[in-house]
Amino acid sequence: AVCAEAYDPDDDADDNTEPQVVHPKTDEQRRRLQDACKDILLFKTLEKDQFSEVLDAMFEVLVKPQDHIIDQGDDGDNFYVIDKGVYDIFVAKDGASVCVGKYNNKGSFGELALMYNTPRAATIVATDEGTLWGLDRATFHRLIVKNNAKKRRMYEAFIECVPLLNCLELSERMKIVDVLGVRTFNDGDRIIAQGDKADCFYIVESGEVKILIRTKTKAGQQDNTEVEVARCSRGQYFGELALVTNKSRAASVYAVGATKCLVIDIQAFERLLGPCMDIMKRNISQYEDQLVALFGSSDDLKH
Ligand code: 1OR
Ligand code: 1OR
């Protein structure tokens, strides 16, 4: 009898017999690869063995200016991690190709077509000479997609009780789980530094963070020390402001005790959190009111 069973990647018996891909690398390549991969969110929830299998399978790709690494609409072949170079992201809109963002010497792309078996969702073009690390589709499936089933089991319940994400459909919340990374911090670790460029967004899973601000209206003055303005604990988010306003980080954020955060990169934030934008903007307008109350001006949150 034929039965319609849900696909569970964990049941995939032939996975164990699939040959392991190994691209030999020099020590120098290995060092660069490790450096490029250390902050890749999709790798952050892998077990150590799985992560080293991923590294073994990756291969170097040299690119020239104007090379199309990915074309929107194509089938997915590889996932890419950036070693170096600047890459523009184009999306077709009403027949025209619109640049919607860029990767600047770090990050990764090409996961969506491989994760969901869909055509490429964007075109990625190198603006300079650059270097990428590719990971073939089969290995991506065997290690990353399989790990996603585990991630969904681990984070589904927690994500369901993050108030900000209530406005999303269940399937949209699960897409966030698929691409998120996890980072742990020790007491006092600085998670965000005021003034830095922003490339990700955080949700506190456990522990607590404190938010400190050094106001620009007192720049250079003696009493311009960092002032604590807020704390966030389980289920609360931070690091959205710079992504929403396209500015540098408005405050510094430190771990209070051992703290674990879920991390979402800026591209996934823009792609998946659009429906939550109104809530975030409403909360941002409250930052301005509190700034006025504290420092007598909200200039810090302006240009
Ligand atoms: P892929 O396999 O579909 C193209 O191949 C890749 O571009 C895609 O995986 C992502 O890794 C990356 N929307 C869709 N894909 C994006 C986007 C994006 N940005 C980067 N990629 N948006 C832009 C968000 C800044 C939304 C556009 C409406
Ligand atoms: P970000 O990307 O600028 C620092 O990085 C984060 O601290 C910021 O996003 C917010 O998520 C968070 N003013 C500015 N940023 C704040 C504030 C805040 N509170 C939390 N963040 N104010 C406190 C309001 C309770 C106003 C300053 C007095």
**Residue 217 has what pLDDT?**
64
**Closest-lying ligand to the alpha carbon of 252?**
2
> In the block, which residue shows the tokens 């954020």?
253
Q: CB atoms < 10 A from the CB of 170, how many?
A: 10
Mutate to test the pocket of ligand 1, among 108, 270, 271, 272 (most ligand atoms within 8 A of CB): 271
Residues of the chain with pLDDT under 70: 1-17, 216-223, 300-303
Cα 17 to ligand 1 centre (Å): 32
Residue nearest atom 14 in ligand 1 by C-alpha distance: 121
Question: Which ligand 1 atom is nearest residue 270's CA?
Answer: 24
Tokens of 104: 């600047």
Matching residue, tokens 């108030």: 163
Expressed in angstroms and rounded, the spacing between residue 71 Cα and the centre of ligand 2 is: 38
pLDDT of residue 222: 64
Task: Find the ligand nearest to 72 CA.
Answer: 1
Distance (Å, whole) CA 181 – CA 245: 23
Write down the pTM of the prediction: 0.91
Cα(103) to ligand 1 centroid in Å equals 11
Backbone angles phi, psi at 136, to 5 degrees: -65, 155
Q: What pLDDT shows up at residue 13?
A: 47
In angstroms, what CA-CA distances link 199 with 84, 107, 162, 183? 16, 9, 21, 14
- Residue nearest atom 28 in ligand 2 by C-alpha distance: 291
Distance 251 CA to ligand 2 centre (A): 6
Quote the ligand 2 centre to 204 CA distance (angstroms): 15
Distance CA(245)–CA(281), nearest Å, equals 10
| Residues near ligand 1 (Cβ within 6 A) | 70, 76, 89, 91, 100-101, 109-113, 120-122, 124, 267, 270-271
Q: Quick one: DSSP state of residue 220?
A: T
pLDDT of residue 292: 82
ipTM summary value? 0.96
Which pLDDT belongs to residue 295? 77
Q: Determine the pLDDT at residue 302.
A: 62
On whether the CB atoms of residues 132 and 69 are closer than 8 A, the answer is: yes
Q: Which atom of ligand 1 is nearest to the CA of 76?
A: 2
Q: How far apart are CA 64 and CA 79, in angstroms?
A: 18
pLDDT at 3: 47
| pLDDT at residue 53, rounded to an integer | 97
